[in-house]
Structure 1
Amino acid sequence: MQVSFACTDHGLKAPRNGEHSKQNATSPNTTSQARARFRTVALIARSLGSFTHRYHHNLKESTAKLTGMKYRNLGKSGLRVSCLGLGTWVTFGGQISDEVAEQLMTIAYESGVNLFDTAEVYSGGKAEIIMGNIIKKKCWRRSSLVITTKLYWGGKAETERGLNRKHIIEGLKGSLQRMQLEYVDVVFANRPDSNTPMEEIVRAMTHVINQGMAMYWGTSRWSAMEIMEAYSVARQFNLIPPVCEQAEYHFFQREKVETQLPELYHKIGVGVVSWSPLACGIITGKYENGVPESSRASMKPYQWLKEKIMSEDGRKQQAKLKELTHIAEKLGCTLPQLAIAWCLRNEGVSSVLLGSSNASQLTENLGAIQVIPKMTAGITAEVDHILGNRPHSKRDYHH
């Protein structure tokens, strides 16, 4: 259950000089009584559920006129993010040159993307450095960007990893230094930390927000139970709860995002920023006839991916993708565009992170925005029939 209420300035502002004696004569405790009433209403609303914006439904999704990019609220916070974001996991500082990284960020930004995601662990910190250099060079307005990073693996020393207070504060300072930024918009806890009490994690995240080092915080690869625990601790101690979860989501990975997280979205306002919409390239169709030499799966560090593709399950997935290609052709789009638009049909998904290694790939993936209106109930039912893996849920969360 959610409670929505309006708070006016009536009775909360200090009286003007000319009105002071008049107000004191009639009700000397007006201000304190009004504040007490507001606190009571706030506590009731908090105990029943999350705060909801009075006009939230009007802002649920808006479209940029020039680029066609769609924007959604990050969870039920007020932060507006592009429904497609740019991730930097295996590309920045790794697979691609700095020049290509700049080209990709420029294409994304000029296409209306405002969400750029990185992590302290990506390429040993190089991804943050490259992204920061590009932002500085391009002279983009900081206020037009939503920059996110993730903390957990910061270095080799015992004190340079985890979600203890020391590493959250020092790790975020290190990230800001590498990116040459005063703050990030969202800092994510990049996996749960069983060695650190939840209260310490939530207090540390609240601290970095209160210090102006971050605007919001979120989780990445946490279970629904762990997210709920963080929310409960925040409410118990009047701290700041997480606003979203970063989760893997694609045709072959559905359970968490479609059955566990929607309940959190409706109850406590935690949204989803999803990653790997193309399942590490499996959904591109390039592995239909095996593993090409130039592909990621052919590289030594990605032996696990090659084994996954060559397994019996992998072959079954390729057969299903071949069938899904017919749906994409019917809609006049590519298979990757269909896969990305399919992720965006879920109302709890605030943004889908794209990981591209070249300009044509990124441009193609950004074209998924044009496919979103074509994701009708009939089309999603066809996709479900082919995949045969729709998880059982309490509600249908499709548009």
Structure 2
Amino acid sequence: MTFTGHIPQRQLGPGGPEVPVFALGSWNIWDRMEARDRRALMERAVETGSAFFDVAYYNMGPHAEASRTDLLFGETLRELGLARSDYQLCGKLWLWEYPATGFADQMRVSLDRIGAGRGGPESFETVVVGDFMGEVDIAQVVRDVQAEITRGSFASWGVNNWPAAALRLALDTAAEEGLTPPSFAQLKYGLVRRSVAEGEFYGKWFADGTLALQASDAFEGGILVGKLAPQRKIGADVGGIRERIVAAYPEVLRIAEEFGATPAQLGIAFCLAHPATANVLFGASSVTQLEDNLGAIALLERIGADAIRTATAGLWLDREVRADGVWAPE
């Protein structure tokens, strides 16, 4: 069914922008599509008000794979001639090679690759700082982020896979020095992985409004929408529960069908049922896939958050996994 409305917006945390409840990712996405399909997907995202794009230069740390996905994204923007007001951008600042590769350099490269100075965007609305590995001077990270905000590279920021203690230090540093604090956390969150977002560490910040949640990897690399043996690189299996996730798919499908929905719609609706969720980040590689995902909005309105959470309570598989936000590479 074709979506005919305009998707809702929520605030991406205190001081963050109003954003659509959908966020479209770029990792292993734009470089898997033909040019006409990229144009069609981007145009449909604009039409439905879901043109919030997470775009990064993936060539550091575990992602040192010379990906062209951001280059292709920028090319598509220019081909369509979209006005800057038609879309929002969320960039990435990586900590893997920081501070040897500083944030100013990372911003320059990221913006250049998507076309700054060639008709492309000159800034992002917001960025995510992550992934967290090893020893990092958190106070200096906050100061360096502020320098980019002052420069006009972006206006707000969030974190991805930070230990709770590091995030606490970032919040305290920002408060003590009058700097911009992180306003959201991008976390693995969905039907099967809930411990970080709903646990004692991050949960308190979501509950009191300190942070908004950007739900990421809700489909477990496609497993929870029926792609039980993904052929492409997918996110880390924190806690080593992936076999259990594969085994849980039939139950996901059963619940979705009982609600008259698809597994993707159920997964997104579940994420949006969390009151702290600002938006859900997923990878859509076709208009058909985006249209299906858009149906999550009607599902949530029709069934309600409480009923969805009750029906899916048994799918929480990472209850015993360490839940302080630390990223554990495979």
Which TM bucket (shorter chain)?
A: 0.7 to 0.9
- Structure in which a larger fraction of residues adopt helix: 1
Q: Is contact 1:265-1:348 (8 Å) kept? A: yes
Alignment of 1:54-133 (within 5 A): 67-93=5-31, 95-121=32-58, 124=66, 126-133=68-75
Deviates more, 1:359-368 or 1:263-272: 263-272
CA contact (8 A) 1:119 1:125 kept: no
1:214 alignment counterpart: 154
Cα deviation, residue 119, structure 1 = 1.2
Specify whether residues 267 and 331 from structure 1 end up closer, same or farther in structure 2 by C-alpha distance, changes over 3 A only: closer
> Which is worse superposed, 367-376 or 97-106?
97-106
Structure 1 unaligned blocks of 5 or more: 1-64, 154-160, 292-296, 392-399
Larger Cα-atom Rg: 1
Distance in 2 between the 1:303 and 1:201 partners?
A: 25
Larger mean CA deviation between 226-235 and 98-107 belongs to: 98-107
Identity among equivalent positions (%) equals 24
Deviates more, 1:233-242 or 1:103-112: 103-112
Distance 1:304 1:216 in 2: 26
What TM-score, normalized by structure 2, do the two folds share? 0.83
Q: The residue matched to 1:148 in structure 2 has which SS?
A: strand
Shift of residue 303, structure 1, vs aligned partner? 12
**Shift of residue 124, structure 1, vs aligned partner:** 2.9
**RMSD, matched Cα:** 2.8
Stretches of structure 2 that go unaligned for 5 or more consecutive residues are: 60-64, 321-330
* Equivalent residue letter for 1:365: N
- Give deviations 1:203-234, integer Å, cap 9, x for gaps: 11001101111111211111222111111111
Mapped pair 1:353 → 2:281: yes
1:190 offset after TM fit, Å? Answer: 2.0
Alignment of 1:156-195 (within 5 A): 162-164=97-99, 167-179=102-114, 180=116, 181-192=121-132, 194-195=134-135
2:9 touches 2:20 (CA, 8 Å); kept in 1?
yes
Moved more, 242-251 or 205-214: 242-251
Separation of aligned partners in 2, 1:96 and 1:356: 10
The aligned residue for residue 136 of structure 1 is: 78
User: 1:388: how far off?
Assistant: 6.6
Is 2:261 the counterpart of 1:333?
yes
- In structure 1, the partner of 2:308 is 379
Amino acid paired to 2:160: S
Letter in 2 for 1:164: P
Asked if 1:197 corresponds to 2:132, the answer is no
The equivalent residue for 1:16 is: none
Task: Measure, in 1, the Cα distance between the counterparts of 2:226 and 2:211.
Answer: 33
CA–CA separation in structure 1 for the residues paired with 2:80 and 2:25: 18
Structure 1 residues 388, 253: closer, same or farther in 2, change over 3 A?
closer
User: Structure 1 residue 191: deviation in Å?
Assistant: 1.3
1:243 paired residue among 155, 164, 183 = 183
Q: In the aligned structure 1, how far is the partner of 2:209 from the partner of 2:245?
A: 35
Higher RCO by CA contacts (8 Å cutoff, separation 6 or greater) = 2
